[in-house]
Structure 1
Amino acid sequence: MAFHDQVANMDEQLLAVLGDEAVIEGRDKPVPGFISVPWLQPKFGQLKTPVREPVFSIRGLDAVGVTSQQKLVLDLPPDEGGGTYIIVKIEPDGTGWINLVLREVVR
């Protein structure tokens, strides 16, 4: 088995066990990936601000046709990153994965 095939198989197994699924606007099926919602906490003088930058990482093959301004919905509890988002930026990470930088839709 070629290295590329082994990596694809490993990615598939990791997504099946540890991954999340998101519904991206215009797609019939959910897209598997990993959600990360880090706190950036930039400092403005002495004031720390609680700014979050949610990122949903997906495989390059699943990113075909994804564009900025599409809606992305994660059916998870809010404290685990669930909610409705707008895709703000699409950033390849150089490993075959694409990071979708998100902005939370406030209701």
Structure 2
Amino acid sequence: MSSIGEGFGKVILFNEHFVVYGIPSVAAAIGDTTVAKVEDSEEFQLLDNRPETPGYKKEKLEQQKDSLNRIFKAMNIDVEKNPVKITLEGDLLAASGL
């Protein structure tokens, strides 16, 4: 079994950090996307084939794994019993601020 999802990138034009204080910001979608494909596997795998700012994916790998584990836990998914392969692709640059 497999599933594919696509998410569009966004830009926050101004007031990015003010939203935590309840002040509005202006954001817009951009056409670049990340595509995630999830399929059954013999073991858990995460393949990130997105373009990146040099070193970004390596620097953020542990944070990415932690986020995935939190999602799996919230959804009651045991990837040790039911391993999956997650492949990330698309033309949205993997970088901070995008």
Name the TM-score, length of structure 2 as normaliser: 0.29
Instruction: Tell me: higher relative CO, structure 1 or 2? Use CA pairs within 8 A at least 6 residues apart.
Output: 2
